[in-house]
Structures are given as structure tokens and as C-alpha cells.
Amino acid sequence: MIAAARPRAVTSRRAPDIHARPHMPVDKDTFRATLGRFASGITIVTAVDADGRDHGMTVSAFTSLSLEPPLVLTCIARNASVFAALTAATHIGINILAADQEPLSRRFASRDGDRFDGVGYVRGDTGVALLADALANLECRVLERHDGGDHVILVAQVEHAQVREGQPILYYRGGYASLAR
């Protein structure tokens, strides 16, 4: 006699809710210490507001996202003074800093004074400020804005890009670093 096949249990797996309380929360110090092991470059993200004023901020949360189409993403803290300007803009400039641009990184992360005061830049085709002597300048159209906890993730399409030779500045374990090669 052939036994009837037993119906297999059907399990449904729902996508995890990233806003739910984590099952095993990691404390802030552990989170920082762990993520600090991931070395990154440093960018300054710029945008122009409706009144034509330039805004900019130091951002290390930047990555390449897609080749076709050419997409990048960058993450902007909700409590940043320039949050509204950067996340409302139709276009952003992304300036990848060179090894000797630590002062620019500090300046665009500080609340003291006008960040653009005395800084060399040209205006790109899309109107954004492109900082002088950066390793690369990108002009991007913002396509999507996603909730990302205490940050907003901007997904943007690269419309123009230019590079120059040089060494990058790095951010590692909460401090500035350089390539040892």
C-alpha cells in the first residue's frame, strides 16, 4: 500500500520590519566601534535652495549603487542643519575629497560661520557647487528619498562627473587617515 503524502507545512516569512525593536539590540558604542572598521572616503554634498543659496555638508555615507543606470546613494542625518536643503533639492553635487582637504571636511561639518566663505568652487551645469581640487565632482539628479532611521537615504542618478589625479582622504575609526601605498 502506498502511503498518502502528508501535506507539507507552509510557512510564510514576512520581510523584517526595520523599525521594529531589534531582537538583539547592539549598543551605540559597539555599533560605532564595529562600523568604524569600515574605511570610507569623504565627500561634501552640496545643493542650492529655492533662493539660490548654497548648502553643503561633510558626508562619508556615500556609495555607488548601480552601473546601468548610474546611481549612487548618500545618507543625510535628519538633525543636520542643512537636512531640508539637501533632501529637498532636485540636484546634489558630490565632491570626493583629496588627501589634503581635511580642512574642508572639518569646515563642512562645523556650525561656525559660512561654510562656503573663501572656498573655491565652480557652478556645474545643474547649478550645484563643485568644489575646487576635489578628487572627483559628481552632479546628480535626486530620484528617490527613503526613510533610513535617523537618516534619509537619497538615491541619485549621476548626470555629470569629472575626476582628477591624486590621493583620497579616508575616514577610519572616527578619524582621518590616508592610503599607505
Contact (Cβ atoms closer than 8 angstroms) between residue 169 and residue 131:
no
Report the residue from 46, 48, 54, 57 that binds ligand FMN according to the rule CB under 6 A: 57
Q: Give the binding range for ligand FMN (CB under 6 A) out of 7-15, 69-77, 93-101, 126-134.
A: 69-77
75 binds ligand FMN (CB under 6 A): yes
119 binds ligand FMN (CB under 6 A): no
76 binds ligand FMN (CB under 6 A): yes
Closest distance to ligand FMN from the beta carbon of 150 (Å): 9
Q: Give the binding range for ligand FMN (CB under 6 A) out of 15-23, 55-63, 93-101, 119-127.
A: 55-63
Contact (Cβ atoms closer than 8 angstroms) between residue 134 and residue 120:
no
Contacts (CB under 6 A) with ligand FMN, residues 11-40: none
Report the residue from 60, 87, 95, 126 that binds ligand FMN according to the rule CB under 6 A: 60
95 binds ligand FMN (CB under 6 A): no
